[in-house]
Amino acid sequence: MEKFEVLRTTAVPLPIENIDTDQIIPARFLKATSREGFGENLFRDWRYNGDGTPKQDFVMNNPRYGGSILVAGKNFGCGSSREHAAWAIYDAGFKVVISSYFADIFRGNALNNGLLPLQVTDEMLQRLFVQIMEKGPNTEFVVDLPKQEFYVPAWNESVSFEIDSYKKECLINGYDDIDFLVNQKEAIEAYEKKKAWVY
Amino acid sequence: MAKSLFDKIWDAHVVRSMGGLDVFYIDKHLIHEVTSPQAFDELEARNLSLFRKEQIVATADHNVPTKNQHLPIEEPLSRMQVDKLTDNCRKWNIELFGLGHENQGIVHVIGPELGITQPGMTIVCGDSHTSTHGAFGAIAFGIGTSQVTQVMASQCLLLSRPKRMRITVDGELKKGVGAKDLILYIISKLGTGGATGYFVEYAGSAVRSLSMEGRMTVCNMSIEMGARGGMIAPDETTFEYIKGRPFAPKGERWEQAVAYWKTLYSEEGAPFEQELHYDARDINPMITYGTNPGMGIAINQPIPSQVSASEAVSFDKSLKYMGFNPGETLVGKPINYVFIGSCTNSRIEDLRTVAEFVKGKQKAPHVEAIIVPGSKQVEKQAREEGIDRILAEAGFELREPGCSACLAMNEDKIPAGAYCVSTSNRNFEGRQGPGSRTLLASPLVAAVTAVEGKIVDITQYFN
């Protein structure tokens, strides 16, 4: 996993609520057996016509917008547990997704892949959409993970965001849970021995 | 302090706590061909081994054809994925119910029917509908592929404890109203994200009166309102279902198991962060009109004509995709496809419901109906009970088991623009094939639709 510290970048707005992981990466693209290459099919059916030509009205095909933050409507990542959704977003160059809340499994999958799910209030989310879509797609944002701070230079305003302290350390250092869990083997074996009911 | 069913099982599986996170022990790990290959690769790339292979069970379901399963899979990528699962299971010595095996089927159908799923267990699978197994009083939930690797390597996950919600439904369900209507009703009340962050316990006399099949349908769709999982306290119905199944405890072990399982319930005064109550008599046959499972209505009610300002963009987008107008009724809309199957509704009880209704009737000529049993065992039982003949005489075909048109990874797809009344769990855009339009409903509503060729107000039909 790549390390994450401070990011300064523009953002891509997607003001739709309840974006499910079937939209992020449709099931027919889950046949690959590696983790790579899912980015080209990110939002496939919103982004491309059936013949593969880009849909001009989709935000990722609009040259005005770019950057490595995706700003999306509330309840982002609901539905299927496919981690391919987090892989696709990361593979397409995004490092942060901002929304006013995330589906639980998606949030976990994102954190396990160096993709930061950054939760803001509903009000802040609406202001971000207005800022990016009406005032200027060139607006830059700063995500400072060590300080847990989201800064909007155009407003000279910053808000703090929540993240579990262990998960934060993992992102900053590029670790994941596997290293940690494998080191717990003694405790796990001890637990198995004293378990009241073993299946 | 009084403890909830959820807390009893959770606490019994905490290896150790650190800050807000628990090292959480997993009893059973179910795997399938789509979300496991990268996990096996990761295990090897890190030079790790399987920690407890005997606690893993594998099957091929997501990607398999539902015709001619005795022949090699035609689609090369699907074949490669299924072959990879077989290779990995052989290499690591994991029990596999692969294509052609008498126990093969949808992972959330075979776990319970083989007696693998038991009360008090913790069960995970790289699939969000793992919540199904909660019907037995287990903590069961879907995980991502990185977590699949974690469980393979350590039999544990690092988790924060979800909040607790109890949904109580009391009273008697009306005629023509079943488990699917009950859960679609609850999701329509909470919305597609209304239970995010929670683990739900379903309780009340309406829930208690459901069969295990019905309880599985309810718990299965917990994820569709964002819940981490759903569960129902085990009772005599549960024990009766498990008894004698191949993986169920036998003899003295059975007595010990039942004695333990009887301690698994929420005590009087157990804490829940949220409690909701519904009256079973308020529930009607349900159907969805939009592009998430929260967009459900009673089948004879109109589509809402107004939503809040913040929801308007998504609501309009959704209705435009579906080709429906705000305020209109779905009754009378012609339907060309009916799908009866998926981990939500592909069990023997579902097929019996369909057969009972279609017996002596004919499928409407313009309807293409796909009926896919949840497992080889369900298929076998349906043939033994003569359900296959009843279906054939009514113009339906019983396929071979798999996830099929629920997520359309295999050949079973609904064409762009076509409407499909489906007993599955998701009506997301393109879920059943690019451009497909899904209306979620019960097996009974699906059967009536297939015969009538259009949406029918079944409340009138049955009265």
User: Which helix (H) or strand (E) covers residue B126, if one does?
Assistant: none
Taking an 8 Å cut-off on Cβ atoms, the answer to whether B34 and A30 are in contact is: yes
DSSP B340: E
DSSP B375: B
Taking an 8 Å cut-off on Cβ atoms, the answer to whether A80 and B407 are in contact is: yes
> Chain A residue closest to B226 (CA)?
A103
Check residue B309 and give its pLDDT.
81
Residues B129 and B202 in one domain: yes
Which of A142, A104, A184 minimizes the C-alpha distance to A8? A142
Check residue B86 and give its pLDDT.
97
Task: Using a CB–CB cutoff of 8 Å, tell me whether A193 touches chain B.
Answer: no
Give the end-to-end CA distance of chain A in Å, rounded to a whole number: 34
Taking an 8 Å cut-off on Cβ atoms, the answer to whether B128 and A79 are in contact is: yes
Which of B416, B414, B421, B406 minimizes the C-alpha distance to B331? B421
Domain span at residue B61 reads 5-276
Would you give per-residue pLDDT tens digits along chain B (463 residues)? 899 999 999 999 999 998 889 999 999 999 999 999 999 999 999 999 999 999 999 999 999 999 999 999 999 999 999 999 999 999 999 999 999 999 999 999 999 999 999 999 999 999 999 999 999 999 999 999 999 999 999 999 999 999 999 999 999 999 999 999 999 999 999 999 999 999 999 999 999 999 999 999 999 999 999 999 999 999 999 999 999 999 999 999 999 999 999 999 999 999 999 999 999 999 999 999 999 999 999 999 999 998 888 788 899 999 999 999 999 999 999 999 999 999 999 999 999 999 999 999 999 999 999 999 999 999 999 999 999 999 999 999 899 999 999 999 999 999 999 999 999 999 999 999 999 999 999 999 999 999 999 999 998 877 6
| Alpha-carbon gap, residue B7 to A198, rounded angstroms | 18
Number of structural domains (chain B) is 2
pTM summary value: 0.97
| Alpha-carbon gap, residue B369 to B358, rounded angstroms | 12
Q: Is B288 exposed, middle or buried (0-12, 13-18, 19+ CB in 10 A)?
A: buried
The structure tokens listed for B28 are 């059973």
The structure tokens listed for B377 are 């065992």
How big is the A-B interface in CB pairs under 8 Å?
A: 197
C-alpha count within 13 angstroms, C-beta hemisphere, residue B29: 29
The C-alpha of B240 sits at a distance from chain A's nearest C-alpha, in angstroms, of 19
A92-131 residues touching B, CB cutoff 8 A: 101-105, 108-109, 112-113, 122, 126
Measured between CB atoms, which of B15, B42, B120 is closest to A188?
Answer: B15
Residues B244 and B312 in one domain: no
Whether A42 and A99 have beta carbons less than 8 Å apart is answered as no
Domain limit, last residue, from B237, B259, B276 = B276
Residues B44 and B27 in one domain: yes
Angle B280-B286-B288 from CA coordinates, rounded to 5°: 140
The yes/no answer to whether this complex scores an ipTM above 0.90 is yes
Measured between CB atoms, which of B20, B27, B146 is closest to A109?
Answer: B146
Residues B327 and B266 in one domain: no
Taking an 8 Å cut-off on Cβ atoms, the answer to whether B38 and A50 are in contact is: no
The structure tokens listed for B366 are 């313009």
| Alpha-carbon gap, residue A88 to A19, rounded angstroms | 14
Task: Using a CB–CB cutoff of 8 Å, tell me whether B266 touches chain A.
Answer: no
- pLDDT single digits (tens) B33-55: 999 999 999 999 999 999 999 99
Residues B29 and B170 in one domain: yes
Taking an 8 Å cut-off on Cβ atoms, the answer to whether B314 and A197 are in contact is: no
Angle B408-B128-B151 from CA coordinates, rounded to 5°: 120
Residues B61 and B108 in one domain: yes
Task: Please list every residue in chain B whose beta carbon sits closer than 8 Å to the beta carbon of residue A184.
Answer: 15-16, 23, 154, 156
Question: For tokens 């804490």, what's the residue?
Answer: B271
Residues B369 and B394 in one domain: yes
Question: For tokens 């879509």, what's the residue?
Answer: A133
Residues B93 and B158 in one domain: yes
Whether B361 and B394 have beta carbons less than 8 Å apart is answered as yes
Whether B129 and B142 have beta carbons less than 8 Å apart is answered as yes
The CATH number for B346's domain is: 3.30.499.10
The C-alpha of B11 sits at a distance from chain A's nearest C-alpha, in angstroms, of 11
Residues B375 and B241 in one domain: no
Check residue A196 and give its pLDDT.
66
Check residue B415 and give its pLDDT.
98
Task: Please list every residue in chain A whose beta carbon sits closer than 8 Å to the beta carbon of residue B81.
Answer: 31, 33
Q: Is A156 exposed, middle or buried (0-12, 13-18, 19+ CB in 10 A)?
A: exposed
Helix runs in B12-166, H state only:
37-45, 76-92, 107-113, 145-154
B50-69 residues touching A, CB cutoff 8 A: 51, 55, 62-63
Residues B171 and B268 in one domain: yes
The C-alpha of B126 sits at a distance from chain A's nearest C-alpha, in angstroms, of 7
What is the distance, to the nearest Å, from the Cα of residue B367 to the centroid of all Cα atoms in its chain?
A: 25
Task: Using a CB–CB cutoff of 8 Å, tell me whether B262 touches chain A.
Answer: no
Task: Please list every residue in chain B whose beta carbon sits closer than 8 Å to the beta carbon of residue A20.
Answer: 292, 426, 428
The C-alpha of B329 sits at a distance from chain A's nearest C-alpha, in angstroms, of 24
Domain limit, last residue, from B254, B276, B298 = B276
Would you give per-residue pLDDT tens digits along chain A (199 residues)? 888 989 999 999 999 999 999 999 999 999 988 898 999 999 999 999 999 999 999 999 999 999 999 999 999 999 999 999 999 999 999 999 999 999 999 999 999 999 999 999 999 999 999 999 999 999 999 999 999 999 999 999 999 999 999 999 999 998 889 989 999 999 999 999 988 665 6
Residues B170 and B218 in one domain: yes
The C-alpha of B21 sits at a distance from chain A's nearest C-alpha, in angstroms, of 9
Task: Using a CB–CB cutoff of 8 Å, tell me whether A33 touches chain B.
Answer: yes
Measured between CB atoms, which of A27, A109, A192 is closest to B144?
Answer: A109
The structure tokens listed for B63 are 């990607």
Domain limit, last residue, from B256, B276, B296 = B276
A35-74 residues touching B, CB cutoff 8 A: 35, 45, 50, 73-74
CA distances from B11 to A195, B16, B17, B154 (A): 11, 10, 10, 18
CA distances from B253 to A192, A198, B265 (A): 18, 11, 21
Residues B252 and B291 in one domain: no
